[in-house]
Amino acid sequence: MDFDPLSFFTSDEVKKQPSQPTSQPPKRHEKNPDQAHHQQELTPDLTEEPSENSEDEQDDGLIHIFDLPPLTPNLPREVLLTVLELLKPDQTTNFGPSDDQKDKAESEILESKGVTTEQYNSTKCWLLANGYKVLARNLLNIHFTQDFFSYLNKILSSPHFVSDDAILQSASLRISENSGRTARPNFQRKIVVKNLEKPILLNEPALIADSLGLKTWGSSLILSEHLLEQHQKLVLDPVLELGAGTGLVGITLGILGYDVTLTDLPEILPNLETNVRLNGLNSDCLVLDWTNPSSFIEKKGQGIKYKTIVVADPIYSADHPRWVINMIITFLEKTPNSRVLLQIPVRQMFEGERELLWKIVKEEGFEIKDEKLMSGYDDFGAQKFIYKELRWGNQHFI
């Protein structure tokens, strides 16, 4: 079958066009009386001043589109730019937003959003002085909702900010960041794994169809967690990672002190090297083309072998099962204790490729030492994962 990456890494939710709301929540601004303007429409006109509301209205801590300042000439660019910067998504932890943002100090939040204390205080003072009390009180805790897209699109078409590159860029980025993983621009993912003292940081460039290795997939997290719990039993030096991608599995093993070589294609390698160095490691990162490993062999030596090979999520084309096994045969040391630690997601449309992989594994005389069905997540929701530990079969030593 032809490989269409979007068919499995675009979630149903991303593929669906969000429906437009037919009504909006009631207007919530707490305006100064001398600045009040009444407005009857349910959908806010973002170029008009907000209406007055009663002072006893309850603040539920949620920011609605009505709480944002209208796009008029009276809106200082510094205020709008600060609000846009504070709309940046929280740092992604594992496969979701960080759950510790509420526990962070004000200075930590501002630093993570790229906003100075002076900018924040100035913006908050302006909002309070001009009646945007709900927004001012919750400025550090703005949660993006679908309604915000209309506000951001209004900014892009506003005559008041059409020539302001900083504002246009910030508004465009907020749209991309909230349009699903496949539209998200470059970001840094924080991986928090039990039994590791520090989180692992991974740069992830924008996801495109021909660069799937630039994304951290759920299989690598599940395998990393398993290795952290069982590495003394499972891992022998030296270690080779095939198709390392963003490097999570190899980095995990490097942090544990193993001699690991991380490999992938030339277009993936620069980001892989960046991530390895970002986490304070000096592990080798080398190109290994599964169809032609000659450059790797030239660098490492003709007889290079590894006692452990790790590979996560390597199968997304009909050619990959044979290629992966060829690399294992080429580089796995032929001893009874050498092992392959393999993690693969259960993607329904790739059932044929998985079955082909297991068929080749058997034909090439590998034995399955251990196997498990594991549960976890990736950017697109809950997922099942197959783990297998492979060893050379007895026939290889007769």
pLDDT digit string, tens, across residues 383-398: 899 999 999 998 888 7
pLDDT reported for residue 52: 42
Tell me the average pLDDT across 260-270: 95
C-beta of residue 36 within 8 angstroms of C-beta of residue 25: no
Pairing relationship of beta strands 339-345 and 308-312 according to DSSP bridges: parallel
C-beta of residue 135 within 8 angstroms of C-beta of residue 67: yes
| Domain locations along the chain | 16-183, 189-397
pTM: 0.62
pLDDT digit string, tens, across residues 96-148: 544 455 557 888 888 878 889 999 999 999 999 999 998 998 888 777 777 78
- Residue labelled with tokens 């730019």: 81
Cα–Cα distance measured from residue 118 to residue 106, given in angstroms and rounded to the nearest whole number: 12
Name beta bridge partners: 35: none
Q: Which value, in Å, is the radius of gyration of the alpha carbons in the chain? A: 26
Cβ atoms within 10 Å of 117's Cβ, excluding its own:
11
Note if the bond before 314 is cis, omega within 30 degrees.
no
- Top-tier CATH class for 189-397: alpha beta
